Structure 1
Amino acid sequence: MSLYAALNPFTSTSVGENDLWNAASFMDVPHIHSVPFDSLRVVEDQVRAQHRSQVRFVRGAGGSGKSHLFSRLRRECADSIFYAYAPNPPLQPEALENFILSRFVSSMRHPARSREGREAPYSQLRLLAYALLKPVVEQDFTFPQLHEAWASIRLETRKDMIHQAVQLLEAEHPMVPRSILRCLLNILRDDKEHLAAQWLSGAAYLTEAELKYLGVVEPLARAEMGIVIQLFGKLAAQAGAPVVLVLDQLDLVVTQPQLDEMQRLLFALIDQSQNWVVLIGLVAERYAAWDAALTQALRGRVGVPDSNAPLGFRLPVIDVLPIASEQKRLLLSCRLESPPLVEQRKKDGITSSIHPLQEEDIARLTAGGAISPRHLLAAAAEVYAMRTSTSSLPPEVVAAVSVQPVVALPPPVPQQVMPAQFRAPVAVAVPVAEFAAAPALAAIPAPSAVQLPPPPAFLPAVSVVPRQSLAEKVDSLLQDAVQAAKAEAGSPSAIDLGERTRDLIELMVAPTVTISEGDIRKTYDNFDGADRWFQWGGSQVRVVTSDAMRGSFIAVLERLKEAAGDTLLLRNDIAPVSGQLTMELLNAFKAKNIFHHMPASEAAVLSALGRMLAAQREGSYDQLATEPPATRENVLAALRGHPLLRGLRLWDMIQKAHAPKAAPPAPPPTSVLSSIIRQPAPVVVAAPPVVAVAPPALPVARPQPPPLAAGMVKPVAKPPSAPMSKPVARPVAPPTAKPPAPPAAKPPTVIARPPMTKLPPPSHGTAA
């Protein structure tokens, strides 16, 4: 295999979140999708001029380039917009607002960009704070100049300027709590920037000391999260730049409660805020569901009047279409000009700009009708692999292999009709399913009709290029996603942790999992996490996530105190556990259930799994050239067997909590007689027989006395050591009313007593 095999520029067929923020590795062809990109720029300019929020639905098939278009918008317009990316939202409708706020602040913490495309030494969030500080600065500075000047100002002067800015904001936004404004401007304090960003994102795990350091009493309340989102839009308008919010990978937003909550959020951004460009990326079938579910009120705000559209308004849609022949060639040329590949050609003295591909390869890949960029890149990756595996052979061999554009392997030739030196395959398979129906390939005979000429005697055998193992490809993708998750600035929220745990259970459990919501959120409005029941295989497990502190966490623990061994409580290790009452409740919970303080490394694996599952649902892996093919079932099976996921401590705890619990021992059965007659104390039953210690003067046997007449009572025998006296008749109570006698007063067992049924009732006795 040549050195070029490791430089395949077509292996990356989709744009991940890490690529979106890392513009240095972004490979783009501006001519591709230029029309929808210009439409996005027009919307951005309109919002910048009018400050009126607008919504656009970006529709396209899987692999058409929607995420690539969003990445280009970030790269080309980063100096004039505030950009936020929020993919793969949670399934819980009530958690959507918290999710968008946390992803918005996390996006704002990425570096801002200058007009030259370079990263600025400050984040987008600090850029927004600088814009709010400008009214109290006496000189007209640009943002880079203000950043340099701010570093040279004394700390006391900074505090005074921040205090003045807070007063100005309070006058302009009297309904916004002062704690929100204070934390927003604390972004300008190097020692408080990180904590202030966490507080603004809705983090519930800040300690009392950290809250005191920020100058706030408690974490951001759930009721105030919507206020913060709306405030960001208004403040960005003062900075002169619109906020672009990208909601991508919405393939799981399908139920009516989810769509209703999404509409509520859009109403708030349109009616109660301003300066928002909301871009919603959808595949065609998901867009149809949205189009049918949105209300007339929302369609009237974001749509275009159209008598032929549902409810009289047509939703504003930007279509991302497949690419044609000329765009195919531009995309291939862009990838073939990757810096590592150009450097290798220069070292080898090769002048061809498409090496190791050949002109016939480019012609074959660009022929036919329009296809999606992802499909084209997957086909090009396979052709490139074939060329690099044969590039070390003589030119005559490469030419012989490339004589016919074989699209499938021919039927095997019987070995007995071939000479021994030629009993090896000579065809190379380049399966490109997308081009099978192309007009340019219509003349290619069917595989059964392909006749290969016998190879010359001097040509060595050429083996079929093996495809990459799907397990190896999935491992590579998962490892890359884990590294990208670890590189993120913020930590996953408790809601994200609950969503990723759901992904893990649904992946690892072979039978269908029945999921239902728990009742914590119904009884506690400030619940910050997830509460779900998972049932499969005749048993169930409850998974609760929470990063809350102090009273909020105590409220969660109190609602879990009745859990009977089937509950798993998850918490990010960034959220400490402290306090006497909290520890008492937590220890009581752990006595019967399971608690897991999840480390950041394990949370990164879960985050990577969520990204891969979202990409799979978007069709990002459908065209991978692997063996076996990268179908949905095969990709999920490869993930299910990956040691990184199977070795997660979380998965072991889930299985332990889900395991059937042993039933408690049942009490011994009770008889009717034992419930009526009180048995003597156990010590009496266990005592040795009285006969063994009886005085020898007493006779062992005595004839039975005659039955007593009515009204008579049995004489009471005295102990042997006492002198004998005349018997005294005493009335005897029935057995049911007789109190238990002490062991010393029990008559010797050698004296037979008449049956209890012969005793008269107390009312018939005569007193002595």
Structure 2
Amino acid sequence: MASIDEIILRSINPFDNFRSVNFWHKQQQPEPTVDSIHQEAIKTIELTLDQVAQDHCTRTVILDGDGGSGKTYLLGRLKNQLNHKAFFVYIPPFPQIDSIWRHILRYTVDSLVQIPKGQKDSQLLLWLENALSSIKQRSVKERIFKDDVFDLLRSDRSKFINKLKNIYTQAGIYNAENFFGVLHDLTNSELYSLACEWLRGDDLSEESLQQLKLKKSIETEEAAREVLANFSRIAGDTQPIVLCFDQLNNIARLPDGSLALQKIFDVNTKIHDEDKNFLIIISINTDIWFKQAKQMDLTDKARIERQVSLRPINLEQAELLLASRLYFLHSQASSQQKSAIYPLKRKYIEEEFTSGKTDPRNAILLGRDIFQSYKEWLVNSNGQAEFKYDNNKSGGGEEEHLKLLASFKLKWQDEF
């Protein structure tokens, strides 16, 4: 086995991926988890999800924190830990104000077609099977339709549509003939992809529409809104669907240059009032949320059940986070190091974050800079002298300004 320094020399920097992304996108380096970080936030959101699963009433959680506090990463942790309890949807910033429902529907279906870890089928097929299985749990009168789930799926298209129309007569399914027909097409391997494209609102060719026995694609905001609502009208019989709105600082802007945040809260109120079995998580920067909350209508505020704020982490947690990134390299070394964060040192962390607190992103950025400096030192030193990290060496004026601003925010928060 090689020494740890030899491994460091030939390894990529384990701190390079410091920005979290859509939790359904695969990353070259999976992000390790430190359970103690933001544990209370996860518990609170899980409790809210359990409440939705119990009474099927839609609830909303505001997830706020400063930039770099780990909001997007936390959404990924929630998906990883709770995907057995719910279907998870990641919705990135909407680029246009006039197509927000089509944007939400597109990314809802994009997420539902993903296959959860440990499963063979997509969330969409699991949702469909879940919905059909629940038919057995209905009243005696409704158990006239007591066919086995798989018999129902294997039945011809017309029989499938008519059975579901009878079962969900009172649910007010929008365009029931088309919607249930597309659900049946999901069970056909040759039509599955086309059915998914129609559900997400793609502009299909006439030939593709004929294959699905449909006349037109989902072309309007109203149609997109109603198709999304159809999921909720059936979702009352299934596990909850978690809609995660993220990166709201990048959404479309109004003519005056301000963020079109009210659109998100209009959507939230609409879903909250009319749809069942959704948990809506709105991830937003604390300063943006603070300004928005002051000018929000009381009606919109009343549709927010919980606010979960991500606080800075302490230096022990920062050290654990750095160690989790270095663990893979250490596990390959011929001898075990005294420090789990080698070639980093605790004193570097203390010198950088004098307040005793930081956020996950800044901790990872520090790890990246020190690791890169150490790697350069290994190349140039020929094993001579001793490595010393110069925290004034890296970064220019803008980076120093950002560090100073981050430190000020932490100090201000403590004093406030």
Q: Does the alignment reach a TM-score above 0.5?
A: yes
Distance of 1:60 and 1:257 partners within structure 2: 18
Distance of 1:436 and 1:300 partners within structure 2: 34
Confirm or deny: 8 A CA contact 1:109 1:123 kept in the other structure: yes
Distance of 1:24 and 1:187 partners within structure 2: 33
1:131 corresponds to which letter in structure 2? N
**Among 337, 349, 363, the residue aligned to 1:376:** 363
Whether 1:225 aligns to 2:224 is: yes
Deviation at 1:193, TM superposition (A): 1.1
Instruction: Name the CA shift for 1:270/1:15 in 2 (closer, same or farther; >3 Å).
Output: same
Distance of 2:55 and 2:26 partners within structure 1: 28
- Deviation digits for residues 498-544 of structure 1, max 9, x if unmatched? xxxxxxxxxxxxxxxxxxxxxxxxxxxxxxxxxxxxxxxxxxxxxxx
Distance of 2:230 and 2:70 partners within structure 1: 32
2:105 corresponds to which letter in structure 1? L
Residue equivalent to 2:322: 332
Whether 1:249 aligns to 2:247 is: yes
Q: How many residue pairs get matched?
A: 379
**Among 36, 46, 50, the residue aligned to 1:45:** 50
1:408 corresponds to which letter in structure 2? N
Deviation at 1:184, TM superposition (A): 2.3
Deviation at 1:214, TM superposition (A): 0.9
Residue equivalent to 2:414: none
Confirm or deny: 8 A CA contact 2:330 2:336 kept in the other structure: no
Confirm or deny: 8 A CA contact 1:13 1:374 kept in the other structure: yes
Give the alignment of 1:718-757 within 5 angstroms.
none
Confirm or deny: 8 A CA contact 2:115 2:122 kept in the other structure: yes
Give the alignment of 1:273-312 within 5 angstroms.
273-302=275-304
Deviation at 1:366, TM superposition (A): 6.6
Confirm or deny: 8 A CA contact 2:24 2:111 kept in the other structure: no
Confirm or deny: 8 A CA contact 2:157 2:184 kept in the other structure: no
Distance of 2:155 and 2:68 partners within structure 1: 53
Instruction: Name the CA shift for 1:363/1:73 in 2 (closer, same or farther; >3 Å).
Output: same
Whether 1:59 aligns to 2:57 is: no
Confirm or deny: 8 A CA contact 2:23 2:79 kept in the other structure: no
Whether 1:77 aligns to 2:65 is: no
Give the alignment of 1:595-610 within 5 angstroms.
none
Residue equivalent to 2:144: none
1:94 corresponds to which letter in structure 2? D
Distance of 1:81 and 1:23 partners within structure 2: 26
Instruction: Name the CA shift for 1:289/1:184 in 2 (closer, same or farther; >3 Å).
Output: farther
Instruction: Name the CA shift for 1:408/1:374 in 2 (closer, same or farther; >3 Å).
Output: same
Instruction: Name the CA shift for 1:84/1:135 in 2 (closer, same or farther; >3 Å).
Output: closer
Distance of 2:395 and 2:270 partners within structure 1: 52
1:263 corresponds to which letter in structure 2? F
Deviation at 1:210, TM superposition (A): 1.5
- Deviation digits for residues 312-353 of structure 1, max 9, x if unmatched? xxxx4211111112111111111111x3x135414xx45444
- Deviation digits for residues 680-707 of structure 1, max 9, x if unmatched? xxxxxxxxxxxxxxxxxxxxxxxxxxxx
Whether 1:93 aligns to 2:97 is: yes
Whether 1:167 aligns to 2:171 is: no
Confirm or deny: 8 A CA contact 2:66 2:287 kept in the other structure: no
Instruction: Name the CA shift for 1:8/1:45 in 2 (closer, same or farther; >3 Å).
Output: same
Distance of 2:62 and 2:31 partners within structure 1: 24
Distance of 1:40 and 1:369 partners within structure 2: 27
Instruction: Name the CA shift for 1:183/1:370 in 2 (closer, same or farther; >3 Å).
Output: same
SS of 1:85's equivalent in the other structure is strand
1:236 corresponds to which letter in structure 2? A
1:45 corresponds to which letter in structure 2? D
1:383 corresponds to which letter in structure 2? I
Distance of 1:370 and 1:61 partners within structure 2: 13
1:180 corresponds to which letter in structure 2? F
TM-score of the aligned structures, taking structure 2 as reference length: 0.80
SS of 1:57's equivalent in the other structure is strand
Whether 1:391 aligns to 2:381 is: no
Instruction: Name the CA shift for 1:54/1:436 in 2 (closer, same or farther; >3 Å).
Output: closer
Instruction: Name the CA shift for 1:261/1:157 in 2 (closer, same or farther; >3 Å).
Output: same
- Deviation digits for residues 91-125 of structure 1, max 9, x if unmatched? x3221111101111111111134xxxx2x111111
SS of 2:69's equivalent in the other structure is coil
SS of 1:58's equivalent in the other structure is strand
Distance of 1:293 and 1:220 partners within structure 2: 34
Give the alignment of 1:653-668 within 5 angstroms.
none
Residue equivalent to 1:424: none
Deviation at 1:62, TM superposition (A): 0.8
Percent identical: 20
Distance of 2:88 and 2:100 partners within structure 1: 19
1:71 corresponds to which letter in structure 2? G
SS of 2:131's equivalent in the other structure is helix
Confirm or deny: 8 A CA contact 2:24 2:114 kept in the other structure: no
Confirm or deny: 8 A CA contact 2:352 2:391 kept in the other structure: no
Residue equivalent to 1:483: none
Q: Which runs of 5+ in 2 are unaligned?
A: 138-148, 408-416
Give the alignment of 1:194-209 within 5 angstroms.
194-204=193-203, 206-209=204-207
Instruction: Name the CA shift for 1:188/1:124 in 2 (closer, same or farther; >3 Å).
Output: same
Which structure is richer in relative contact order (CA contacts within 8 A, separation 6 or more)?
2
Distance of 2:309 and 2:346 partners within structure 1: 32
Deviation at 1:189, TM superposition (A): 1.6
SS of 1:112's equivalent in the other structure is coil
SS of 2:89's equivalent in the other structure is strand
Deviation at 1:167, TM superposition (A): 3.2
Deviation at 1:295, TM superposition (A): 1.4
Distance of 1:154 and 1:234 partners within structure 2: 19
Confirm or deny: 8 A CA contact 2:102 2:201 kept in the other structure: yes
Deviation at 1:169, TM superposition (A): 4.3
Distance of 2:316 and 2:347 partners within structure 1: 16
Residue equivalent to 2:140: none
1:357 corresponds to which letter in structure 2? L
2:112 corresponds to which letter in structure 1? M
Confirm or deny: 8 A CA contact 1:57 1:281 kept in the other structure: yes
Distance of 1:184 and 1:154 partners within structure 2: 12
Distance of 2:406 and 2:60 partners within structure 1: 38
Confirm or deny: 8 A CA contact 2:241 2:277 kept in the other structure: yes
2:385 corresponds to which letter in structure 1? V
Residue equivalent to 2:263: 261
Give the alignment of 1:414-453 within 5 angstroms.
433=400, 434=403
Q: Which runs of 5+ in 1 are unaligned?
A: 139-148, 304-315, 410-428, 439-768
Residue equivalent to 2:333: 345
1:379 corresponds to which letter in structure 2? L
Residue equivalent to 2:126: 127
Distance of 1:155 and 1:273 partners within structure 2: 26
Residue equivalent to 2:106: 102
Confirm or deny: 8 A CA contact 2:63 2:71 kept in the other structure: yes
Confirm or deny: 8 A CA contact 1:136 1:165 kept in the other structure: no
Whether 1:112 aligns to 2:116 is: yes
1:214 corresponds to which letter in structure 2? L
Instruction: Name the CA shift for 1:176/1:214 in 2 (closer, same or farther; >3 Å).
Output: same
Give the alignment of 1:478-497 within 5 angstroms.
none
- Deviation digits for residues 580-623 of structure 1, max 9, x if unmatched? xxxxxxxxxxxxxxxxxxxxxxxxxxxxxxxxxxxxxxxxxxxx
Instruction: Name the CA shift for 1:156/1:332 in 2 (closer, same or farther; >3 Å).
Output: closer
**Among 1, 4, 29, the residue aligned to 2:34:** 29
Residue equivalent to 1:420: none
**Among 1, 8, 26, the residue aligned to 1:4:** 8
Distance of 1:30 and 1:128 partners within structure 2: 29
Distance of 1:261 and 1:358 partners within structure 2: 47
1:248 corresponds to which letter in structure 2? D
Confirm or deny: 8 A CA contact 2:41 2:308 kept in the other structure: yes
Distance of 1:200 and 1:19 partners within structure 2: 19
Greater helix share, 1 or 2?
A: 2
Give the alignment of 1:313-324 within 5 angstroms.
316-324=306-314
1:102 corresponds to which letter in structure 2? R
Confirm or deny: 8 A CA contact 2:319 2:341 kept in the other structure: no
Instruction: Name the CA shift for 1:197/1:136 in 2 (closer, same or farther; >3 Å).
Output: same
Residue equivalent to 2:21: 16
